[in-house]
């Protein structure tokens, strides 16, 4: 562990010890406090426990917030707990705890790691169940419900795989527009089940894939990851591929989603286990869908309407991929028309961003004072100044001014835009928290605990927990 990381761990231990000591001294006579000998912990276990303790504090801080605010916060808390428990192995996770999420690969960290212990996993599972219950308070298709379902399922994969499958299955058909985030959960669910039971899980996985396909969302990406693990089982691979091919043929998916199916037939590792006629039919089905898309684009152009700006690039990429294993079929795919913009292209109302309020003189002054103090915190970090009253006062002022600036700015937005406003306004303060954690974590934690707004304080505590996770 780097020297600065050890300093962060020790500083946060001090911060927790001071807080705990103050609470004990306020309620229990000093003589009655029993002395306990704790078992020695490794640095990895200390990092894990400190990070999880901060998540617990953030959870407690957010308990009294309304559900629409609690859901994104609890989803973020679960995301960080998930990362603590999973950092010892590679896998797929969603970037972003809410909104439009995308799948990204997470590689295992080097060196020893400490997963959550049994008690922490039980608490993590309780958070996931509570998140799922909160989501059920909102109507199907709402952002709140979708965030809760996706985050709860991903969390339960780590603690109770059967329950994760149950939760996801109970809500999977509710929102037809949630493909991106749900496809990432599909990958995690399928990988976890295969990792747990191996080839014996294939019948269950096929049944699950068919169930999703019947709702118009066959999990091509998830099936792709599983088939790559099934070398030496060509019959099972062919059966699984046959299901995927059937749903691809019957579906009316956007041209961009053809890449999902292309991942199956375009892989030599999978293709070598298929029958030759399966490869040939798959190539032809891809060519047919691409050709139909090109023809529709040509028709739009002939009518003077706008064509898809990304169409030529997508068709070129798909045609090139088909050419790799079926050049004679690829040769039949026509070239798309060049992009044509329509005469009148109106920006959809839903794409416009909330209008930021014009800052008054008070807000400008507050912003300047915050920037001055957070710059001083950064200078202290560069100059290796980690102790002393001036350092503590500077950190305290920076966080206090930053919190005041964030809250005043957010409250100037329209009520329906408050969540967006918090996300875009908090970044400079969060950066200050991360630097302050390096300078003096105990002072930073003390300053955060003085923030009166529960939502903001919870977000800042989560930020410190995240800083610990990436100290390596």
88, pLDDT greater than 50: no
pLDDT top residue among 43 and 289: 289
What percent of the chain is modeled with pLDDT above 70?
Answer: 80
Q: For residue 25, what pLDDT is reported?
A: 43
pLDDT top residue among 309 and 470: 309
pLDDT-based confidence at residue 294 (cuts at 50, 70, 90): very high
What's the mean pLDDT in 209-220?
Answer: 87
Q: Alpha helices of 303-360 — where are they, by DSSP H?
A: 311-325, 327-330
Give how far Cα 353 sits from Cα of 118, 136, 290, 348, 413, Å: 44, 28, 34, 11, 12
CA angle 129, 130, 131 (to 5 degrees): 90
Name the pTM for this structure: 0.76
Q: For residue 66, what pLDDT is reported?
A: 94
What's the mean pLDDT in 455-470?
Answer: 89
CA angle 127, 461, 98 (to 5 degrees): 55
Q: Scanning the structure block, which residue is given the tokens 């029993």?
A: 34
What's the mean pLDDT in 13-17?
Answer: 60
The CA-based dihedral angle spanning residues 144, 148, 149, 155, taken in that order and rounded to the nearest 10 degrees? 160
What percent of the chain is modeled with pLDDT above 90?
Answer: 51
Report how far residue 448's alpha carbon sits from residue 462's, in angstroms, rounded to the nearest whole number. 11
pLDDT-based confidence at residue 36 (cuts at 50, 70, 90): low
pLDDT-based confidence at residue 96 (cuts at 50, 70, 90): very low
Q: Scanning the structure block, which residue is given the tokens 């918090």?
A: 422
Report how far residue 118's alpha carbon sits from residue 203's, in angstroms, rounded to the nearest whole number. 31
What residue spans define the domains of the chain?
Answer: 48-275, 360-472
Answer yes or no: are the C-beta atoms of 75 and 6 closer than 8 Å: no
Element (H, E) at 377: helix 361-382
pLDDT one-digit tens code per residue, 383-438: 887 888 999 999 999 999 999 999 999 999 888 888 889 988 999 999 999 999 88
pLDDT one-digit tens code per residue, 151-178: 999 999 988 988 998 888 776 544 444 4
327, pLDDT greater than 60: yes
pLDDT one-digit tens code per residue, 339-371: 777 544 444 444 467 877 788 899 999 999 999
């Amino acid at each position: 562990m780097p020297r600065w990381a050890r300093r962060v761990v020790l500083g946060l231990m001090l911060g927790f010890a001071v807080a705990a000591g103050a609470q004990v001294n306020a309620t229990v006579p000093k003589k009655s406090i029993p002395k306990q000998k704790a078992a020695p912990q490794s640095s990895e276990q200390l990092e894990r426990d400190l990070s999880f303790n901060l998540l617990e504090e953030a959870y407690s801080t957010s308990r009294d917030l309304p559900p629409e605010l609690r859901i994104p916060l609890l989803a973020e808390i679960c995301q960080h707990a998930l990362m603590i428990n999973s950092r010892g192995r590679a896998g797929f996770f969603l970037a972003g705890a809410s909104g439009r999420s995308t799948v990204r690969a997470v590689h295992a960290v080097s060196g020893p790691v400490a997963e959550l212990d049994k008690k922490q996993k039980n608490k993590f599972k309780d958070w996931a169940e509570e998140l799922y219950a909160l989501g059920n308070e909102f109507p199907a298709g709402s952002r709140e419900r979708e965030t809760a379902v996706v985050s709860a399922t991903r969390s339960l994969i780590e603690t109770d795989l059967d329950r994760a499958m149950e939760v996801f299955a109970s809500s999977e058909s509710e929102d037809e527009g949630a493909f991106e985030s749900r496809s990432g959960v599909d990958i995690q669910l399928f990988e976890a089940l295969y990792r747990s039971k191996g080839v014996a899980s294939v019948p269950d996985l096929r049944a699950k894939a068919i169930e999703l396909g019947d709702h118009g969302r066959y999990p091509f990406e998830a099936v792709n990851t599983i088939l790559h693990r099934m070398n030496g089982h060509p019959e099972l691979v062919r059966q699984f591929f046959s299901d995927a091919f059937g749903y691809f043929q019957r579906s009316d998916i956007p041209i961009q989603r053809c890449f999902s199916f292309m991942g199956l037939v375009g892989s030599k590792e999978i293709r070598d286990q298929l029958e030759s006629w399966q490869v040939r039919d798959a190539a032809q089905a891809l060519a047919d869908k691409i050709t139909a898309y090109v023809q529709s684009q040509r028709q739009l152009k002939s009518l003077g309407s706008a064509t898809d700006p990304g169409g030529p690039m997508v068709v070129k990429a798909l045609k090139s991929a088909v050419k790799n294993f079926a050049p004679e079929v690829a040769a039949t795919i026509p070239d798309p028309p060049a992009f044509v913009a329509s005469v009148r292209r109106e920006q959809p109302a839903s794409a416009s961003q909330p209008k930021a309020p014009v800052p008054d003189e008070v807000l400008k002054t507050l912003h300047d004072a915050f920037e001055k103090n957070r710059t001083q915190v950064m200078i202290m970090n560069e100059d290796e100044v980690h102790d002393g009253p001036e350092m503590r006062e500077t950190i305290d002022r920076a966080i206090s001014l930053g919190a005041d600036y964030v809250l005043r700015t957010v409250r100037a937005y329209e009520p329906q835009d408050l969540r967006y406003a918090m996300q875009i306004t908090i970044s400079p303060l969060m950066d200050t928290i991360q630097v302050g954690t390096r300078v003096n974590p105990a002072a930073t934690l003390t300053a955060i605990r003085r923030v009166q707004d529960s939502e903001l304080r919870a977000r800042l505590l989560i930020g410190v927990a995240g800083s610990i996770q990436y100290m390596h």
